[in-house]
Structure 1
Amino acid sequence: MTTMIIHLFLLVSSPIWLLAAFIQPPTDRYHVGIRSYVWNHTNLDDPLAPNNISASLLLNLFYHPTRSLLKSPRPYLDPVTAQLYASAWNYSSGAFKNLTTTLQWEAPFLNGTSSYPTLLPGPGGGGPPSAMYTALLSDLAPHGYNILAIDRPYEQPFVHYPLCSNPYGGPQLYGLPVVYSFPLHLFHSL
Structure 2
Amino acid sequence: MHIPTALASLLPLCLLVDGIQLPAPSGPYNVGFTQHIFNHSTPDDPTPGPGTFYLTSIYYPTRASPAPNSSVPYFDPTSAAIWGEVFNILPADLQSLETTLQWQAPLLSERADVDKLKTWPTLVFGPGGGMNAGYFTSLLSELASQGYTVLALDHPGEAPYLALPYGNPGVVGWDIYMPYSDALVVEIYEFRRADLLHLLGPDGFPALVETYGAYFNAAAYGAFGHSIGGAAATGAMDRDSSIGAGFNIDGGLFGDSVNASMRGRPYFMTMNPNHFAQDADSWPLFAESYYNESKTAPGWLDWTTVEGSAHLAFSDVSLWVELLPQIPNTTAQVDLGNVTGSRMDALLKTYAGAFWEFVRGGEYDTALLEGEVKEWPEVVFNAKVRSNGTQRH
Normalised to the residue count of structure 2, the TM-score between the two structures is: 0.40
Q: Deviation at 1:147?
A: 0.7
CA 1:183 to 1:27, structure 2 compared with 1: closer, same or farther past 3 Å?
Answer: closer
Which residue does the alignment assign to 1:58?
A: 55
Q: Deviation at 1:81?
A: 1.4
Does 1:67 pair with 2:70?
no
Which residue does the alignment assign to 1:160?
A: 163
SS at 2:178's partner residue?
coil
Which residue does the alignment assign to 1:178?
A: 176
Which sits farther off after the overlay, 78-87 or 22-31? 22-31
Q: Deviation at 1:19?
A: 2.0
Q: Distance in 2 between matches of 1:77 and 1:25?
A: 17
Which residue does the alignment assign to 2:39?
A: 40
Q: How does 1:122-161 map to 2 (within 5 A)?
A: 122-126=126-130, 128-161=131-164
2:168 partner letter = G
Which residue does the alignment assign to 1:109?
A: 107
- Structure 2, unmatched stretches of 5+, are 1-13, 189-393
Q: Deviation at 1:101?
A: 1.0
SS at 1:54's partner residue?
coil
Q: Distance in 1 between matches of 2:91 and 2:66?
A: 29
Q: Distance in 2 between matches of 1:88 and 1:145?
A: 33
Task: List structure 1 segments (4+ residues) > 3 angstroms apart after TM superposition.
Answer: 24-30
Residues 36 and 55 of structure 2 are in contact (CA less than 8 Å); yes or no, is this contact kept in structure 1?
Answer: yes
Does 1:21 pair with 2:20?
yes
Residues 28 and 145 of structure 2 are in contact (CA less than 8 Å); yes or no, is this contact kept in structure 1?
Answer: no
Q: Which structure carries more strand by proportion?
A: 1
Residues 88 and 179 of structure 1 are in contact (CA less than 8 Å); yes or no, is this contact kept in structure 2?
Answer: no
The match for 2:185 among 180, 184, 187 is 187
1:179 partner letter = Y
Does 1:81 pair with 2:69?
no
Q: Deviation at 1:117?
A: 1.6
Residues 84 and 91 of structure 2 are in contact (CA less than 8 Å); yes or no, is this contact kept in structure 1?
Answer: yes
Q: Percent identity, aligned pairs only?
A: 33
SS at 1:86's partner residue?
helix
1:87 partner letter = E
Which residue does the alignment assign to 1:120?
A: 124
* Count of residue pairs the alignment pairs up: 167
Q: Which structure carries more helix by proportion?
A: 2
Pick the structure with greater CA Rg.
2
Residues 124 and 155 of structure 1 are in contact (CA less than 8 Å); yes or no, is this contact kept in structure 2?
Answer: no
Q: Distance in 1 between matches of 2:147 and 2:86?
A: 35
Which sits farther off after the overlay, 93-102 or 131-140? 93-102
Q: Distance in 2 between matches of 1:93 and 1:33?
A: 26
Residues 28 and 146 of structure 2 are in contact (CA less than 8 Å); yes or no, is this contact kept in structure 1?
Answer: no
Q: Distance in 2 between matches of 1:140 and 1:48?
A: 30
Q: Distance in 2 between matches of 1:60 and 1:74?
A: 12
Residues 77 and 95 of structure 2 are in contact (CA less than 8 Å); yes or no, is this contact kept in structure 1?
Answer: yes
Larger RCO, structures 1/2 (Cα 8 Å, 6+ apart): 1
Deviations 1:61-117 (A, max 9, x none): 0001x1223122342222221221101222234220211112100111113152432
Q: Distance in 2 between matches of 1:29 and 1:185?
A: 44
SS at 1:141's partner residue?
helix
Q: Distance in 2 between matches of 1:77 and 1:34?
A: 15
- Structure 1, unmatched stretches of 5+, are 1-13, 164-168
Does 1:95 pair with 2:93?
yes
